[in-house]
Amino acid sequence: MKLRPHLRVQQSRSAFAKGNARWTNLDLDPVPRHLRQWGPVSFISYWISDAFNAATWQFASSMMAVGLGWRDALIIIAISFFIISFVIAGNGAVGAIYHIPFPVIARASWGFWGSYIAIVSRVILALFWFAIQNVNGANAVRAMIGAIWPSFLTLKNDIPEGEGITTNGMVSYLIFWLVQLPFLCIHPNKLRWLFMVKSVLVPIAWIAIFIWAFVAESGGGLLQQKATVSGSKYSWLFLANMTSVLGNYATLSVNQSDFSRYSRVTAKWQLLYIPMLPIIFTFLSFIGIVASSAGYARYGGDTIPWDPIVLISHWSSRACRFFGAFSFALASLGVNISANSISAANDLTALAPGYINLRRGQIICGLLSWCLVPWKILVSAGNFLNFMSAYAIFLGPIAGIMLFDFWVLKDRKYDTLALYQIENPTYRYGGKWWWWWGVNWRAVLAFVVGVAPNLPGLINSVNSEIGVGVGVHPYQFGWLLGFVATSLVYVLVSMVFPAREALVEVAVMPEEVYDAREREDGDGSTDDQEKGEVREKVVS
């Protein structure tokens, strides 16, 4: 059954969809000059906003639980973000130069159909983590309501116990989802104001908690804790936890261009991430260590309150509980949009550009969060969460292929029009980056080489009863292994079996295509010589 015509998104104004509507719409087109509104302050606010979330607070908890000291944890976090900041900056620069999103950039290295491997891998992760982040946000909302209306926390539960959620939890989830919904309808170009607001309000609350931790308990006893493991066990734990940290932000190392495409400044500003990310994330993780340590010292109990909402729930001041929980609700809202909903929307748009744009894609993502019943996932499916965390082993190779394709093999030269149109008869197999039947077999081969060594360890992490022996060790540094191995294989195979038709002598920038389209639309005609020059550059 065909979808009704009125359900299609408008494509008539797309300069890149002329005769080729299958592969783009206005939201997938390169961002035109007048819509490039993100400057340095916007990008700094974006990353400060993204860093302030409960996951960053809890980075050190799992490391200290397995025997590492707090200093070891901070060193791992700093090194991990120093490494991944280069990848984020490198892939983000592509978006800042050509103003195109991740799904379109992937076509240059994977092929038009082959790019679906990268797109589907990313969208699955985005949809599930969006749903799970909703639960985290709902927990903060529950604490906010409990601070105002204490009896809400003991509200009679009418939901069966096996469902994994209580009545007050479901009400909180609904409230958080409804508050989040309007933001899903806002174009990413205008969301920088949300990130700016969050980058002011949330840091104030977290620094206040940091000060409280030292005033209340001088930082607590965890600051005296040292590593309880040594030798080879320490080394493997170091690598495994580094992989865990890298995995948390492996997604943004792939699709940073979904935001950098709106940049009005040069791509050099993407280098700002290299010093900024290690400093910010390491400091915020230190806040989590100190605050949790102080909470354990002051409130006692059998376990350390690594969950910030659990820590906040012990405070006697209802006002402090409310505003503390509000900061984490706002943190969940911001990171869910920046890391998940917009990424999912770009991917869904690329899969069906005739019927899905960014707004529809975000709304679909929001609706699917209910279908995925994330509260049951969090309660009853620990193995599934292990798998989702381990999913980063697929994103490391994807990031490596895209990074080295642009900076090494293509020498930073892309033909923007060729990323959208394949019906040009002068290109073999339908287009410059159509490759072979729409797939670049070199990228697929490199991807398999990078992922395969990690599969035994992945299986063991999902089901520990399946023994894999030493096969678990590659998985313990899976992101690094996958990224390095895939990048080396992809570059080597591409040099041994070069695709010369895929190289571009002179880059074709989106401005040239837009300018040519404006001249055509302006007076209905273009000088024949001028037409020929534009066509010659775009096609050759």
Q: What predicted TM-score, i.e. pTM, was given to this entire model? A: 0.89
243-261 pLDDT, tens digit each: 888 887 888 899 899 999 9
Measuring CA to CA, how many Å separate 268 from each of 163, 260, 486? Answer: 50, 11, 26
Q: Which residues contact 76 (CB under 8 A, 6 or more apart)?
A: 63, 68, 238, 241, 242, 245
Q: Which class for 85: exposed (0-12), middle (13-18), buried (19 or more C-beta within 10 A)?
A: buried
The whole-number pLDDT of residue 2 equals 53
Lowest-pLDDT range of 42-56, 197-211, 366-380, 396-410: 366-380
263 SS3 class: strand
Confidence of residue 381 (pLDDT cuts 50, 70, 90): very low
Higher pLDDT, 2 or 319: 319
450 SS3 class: helix
**Distance between CA atoms of residues 139 and 152, nearest Å:** 13
The whole-number pLDDT of residue 333 equals 93
439 SS3 class: strand
Higher pLDDT, 217 or 135: 135
The whole-number pLDDT of residue 183 equals 94
Which range scores top for mean pLDDT: 63-67, 138-142, 292-296? 138-142
Confidence of residue 534 (pLDDT cuts 50, 70, 90): very low
Place of tokens 């490199």: 446
Is residue 484 a contact partner of residue 400, using CB atoms and an 8 Å limit?
Answer: yes
Structure token digits, residue 192: 């920088």
77-98 pLDDT, tens digit each: 999 999 999 999 999 999 999 9
**Distance between CA atoms of residues 210 and 208, nearest Å:** 5
pLDDT greater than 80 at residue 237: yes
Q: Which residues contact 415 (CB under 8 A, 6 or more apart)?
A: 432, 504, 507, 508, 538
**Distance between CA atoms of residues 299 and 311, nearest Å:** 9
Q: Which of 277, 297, 120 is nearest to 225 (CA)?
A: 297
pLDDT above 70 as % of the chain: 88
The whole-number pLDDT of residue 167 equals 94
Higher pLDDT, 165 or 6: 165
Mean pLDDT of the region 138-143:
95
pLDDT greater than 70 at residue 299: yes
**Distance between CA atoms of residues 146 and 150, nearest Å:** 5
Structure token digits, residue 241: 């936890």
Structure token digits, residue 450: 């990078």
Number of C-beta neighbours around residue 468 at 10 A: 16
pLDDT greater than 90 at residue 271: yes
Backbone phi, psi, residue 435, to 5°: 55, -125
Measuring CA to CA, how many Å separate 247 from each of 83, 385, 479, 527? Answer: 12, 13, 7, 53
Is residue 393 a contact partner of residue 482, using CB atoms and an 8 Å limit?
Answer: yes
pLDDT greater than 80 at residue 524: no
Backbone phi, psi, residue 154, to 5°: -110, 20
**Distance between CA atoms of residues 56 and 245, nearest Å:** 9
Is residue 118 a contact partner of residue 289, using CB atoms and an 8 Å limit?
Answer: no
Structure token digits, residue 377: 């996932």
Q: Where are the domains positioned within the chain?
A: 33-380
Q: Which class for 506: exposed (0-12), middle (13-18), buried (19 or more C-beta within 10 A)?
A: exposed
94-110 pLDDT, tens digit each: 999 999 999 999 999 99
User: Is CATH 1.10.3720.10 correct for 33-380?
Assistant: no
420-473 pLDDT, tens digit each: 877 554 444 556 788 888 899 999 999 999 999 988 988 887 777 788 888 888
pLDDT greater than 60 at residue 528: no
Number of C-beta neighbours around residue 10 at 10 A: 9
**Distance between CA atoms of residues 68 and 73, nearest Å:** 7
Is residue 341 a contact partner of residue 354, using CB atoms and an 8 Å limit?
Answer: no
pLDDT greater than 50 at residue 147: yes
pLDDT greater than 90 at residue 149: yes
The whole-number pLDDT of residue 146 equals 95
